[in-house]
């Protein structure tokens, strides 16, 4: 559809509505408060419009909603604390907006949350420690904000089901936790363009489901651990623009699934292994 104008407040009269999908249209303006009367809603999909104004606090009344997506709009202001009252929420997607301020600690009340997408906003400050109480999370996407702080050493004990962690282009610092291998389900780990320091932990080699590993643009140093060669599902390995030294580990040749590897702007010695051809799926080097 190609609907235009503002979201009609009369929708609030559809009291038996359980799913509201107005995505990929040209709606603009503020969301009408009348939508807060739709107490039976379980899905709200309003992505890819031109909605503006602040995220309404009345969303907190809709405690049956499982899925809320406001991504790719022009929403401003802060994340309202009232979202924490949406107690059944499983997916919260606010990415690609103009939302500012801190992540409210009250968000930890969303104990059923599986996917949290806040990327591509203007969020700042540290990630509230209370967020580590949401053990149900499978995906955390906070990339392209101005968030800071360090990752707790026991992060994986808080998120035993974590499959994807996207923190690219923020101001996170400290070392990558050596216990990162306790995130047994992790498939995508994106930590690039932050201020992480120290070495690449050898324990990363135990993440056997890992498909994408982005570490470039940090302050990491030392050698690439040979344990990287244990990541037999790895398709992308990016560790460019850092202070890595030593040779490219020969164990990388074990990675038959590898499609892209980026190691430029380091101090890695020696030439590319002569038998690099065994990585038959490699497309970018």
Domains identified in the chain, total number: 2
Q: Tell whether 133 and 13 lie within a shared domain.
A: yes
Q: Per the structure block, which two tokens stand in for 186?
A: 């992790």
Among 132, 149, 166, the domain-final residue is 149
Q: Per the structure block, which two tokens stand in for 118?
A: 């806040």
Residues in the chain: 285
Q: Tell whether 164 and 124 lie within a shared domain.
A: no
Query: 256 pLDDT band (50/70/90 cuts)?
Result: confident
Tokens 């609030």 locate to: 12
Q: Per the structure block, which two tokens stand in for 245?
A: 């030294």
Q: Tell whether 174 and 142 lie within a shared domain.
A: no
What strand order describes the sheet that includes 115-117?
Answer: 19-21, 43-45, 67-69, 91-93, 115-117, 139-141, 164-166, 188-190, 212-214, 236-238, 260-262
Q: Tell whether 193 and 266 lie within a shared domain.
A: yes
Among 149, 165, 198, the domain-final residue is 149
The residues, ordered by sequence, that sit 6+ positions from 55 with a Cβ below 8 Å of its Cβ are 70, 75, 77, 78, 79, 80, 83, 94, 99
The overall longest dimension of the chain from CA atoms, in Å, is 70
What domain range includes position 213? Answer: 155-285
Q: Tell whether 212 and 283 lie within a shared domain.
A: yes
pLDDT (mean) for 208-216? 98
Model-wide pTM > 0.85? yes
pLDDT (mean) for 68-75? 99
**Residue 188 reports pLDDT greater than 90:** yes
Q: Tell whether 164 and 279 lie within a shared domain.
A: yes
pLDDT at 205: 96
Q: Nearest 5 degrees, angle CA 253-CA 245-CA 213?
A: 55
Q: Tell whether 160 and 90 lie within a shared domain.
A: no
Rounded to whole angstroms, the Cα distance separating 169 from 160 reads 24
pLDDT one-digit tens code per residue, 73-93 = 999 999 999 999 999 999 999
**Which range has highest mean pLDDT (2-11, 248-257, 273-282)?**
2-11
> Exposure string (b/e) for 20-45, b if CB count within 10 Å is 16 or more?
bebbebebbeebbebbbbbeebebbb
Rounded to whole angstroms, the Cα distance separating 158 from 83 reads 22
pLDDT at 270: 60
pLDDT one-digit tens code per residue, 115-142 = 999 999 999 999 999 999 999 999 999 9
Among 149, 170, 203, the domain-final residue is 149
Q: What is the CATH number of the domain that holds 67?
A: 3.80.10.10
Q: Tell whether 39 and 55 lie within a shared domain.
A: yes
pLDDT at 254: 83
Q: Tell whether 76 and 198 lie within a shared domain.
A: no
Q: Per the structure block, which two tokens stand in for 145?
A: 């904000």
DSSP secondary structure code for residue 60 in this structure: G
Q: Tell whether 173 and 143 lie within a shared domain.
A: no
Mean pLDDT of all residues in the chain? Answer: 94
Q: Tell whether 176 and 224 lie within a shared domain.
A: yes
Q: Nearest 5 degrees, angle CA 12-CA 13-CA 19?
A: 60
**Residue 283 reports pLDDT greater than 70:** no
Q: Tell whether 223 and 180 lie within a shared domain.
A: yes
Instruction: Please report, rounded to a whole number, the percentage of residues in the chain having pLDDT higher than 90.
Output: 88
């Amino acid at each position: 559809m190609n609907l235009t104008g503002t979201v009609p407040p009369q929708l609030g009269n559809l009291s038996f509505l359980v799913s509201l999908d107005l995505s990929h249209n040209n709606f603009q303006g503020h969301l009408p408060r009348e939508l807060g009367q739709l107490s039976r809603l379980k899905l709200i999909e309003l992505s890819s419009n031109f909605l503006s104004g602040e995220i309404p606090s009345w969303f907190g009344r809709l405690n049956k909603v499982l899925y809320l997506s406001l991504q790719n709009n022009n929403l401003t202001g802060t994340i309202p604390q009232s979202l924490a009252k949406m107690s059944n929420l499983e997916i919260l997607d606010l990415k690609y907006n103009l939302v500012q301020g801190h992540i409210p600690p009250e968000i930890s009340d969303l104990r059923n949350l599986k996917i949290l997408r806040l990327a591509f906003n203007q969020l700042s400050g540290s990630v509230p420690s209370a967020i580590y109480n949401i053990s149900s999370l499978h995906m955390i996407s906070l990339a392209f904000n101005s968030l800071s702080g360090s990752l707790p050493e026991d992060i994986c004990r808080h998120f035993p089901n974590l499959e994807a962690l996207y923190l690219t282009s923020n101001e996170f610092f400290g070392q990558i936790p050596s216990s990162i291998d306790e995130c047994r389900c992790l498939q995508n780990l994106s930590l690039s363009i932050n201020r992480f320091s120290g070495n690449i932990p050898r324990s990363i080699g135990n993440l056997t489901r890992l498909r994408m590993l982005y570490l470039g643009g940090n302050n990491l140093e030392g050698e690439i651990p040979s344990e990287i060669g244990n990541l037999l599902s790895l398709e992308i390995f990016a560790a460019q623009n850092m202070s890595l030294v030593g040779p490219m580990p020969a164990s990388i040749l074990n990675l038959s699934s590898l499609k892209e590897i980026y190691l430029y702007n380091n101090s890695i010695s020696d030439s590319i292994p002569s038998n690099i051809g065994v990585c038959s799926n490699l497309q970018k080097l």
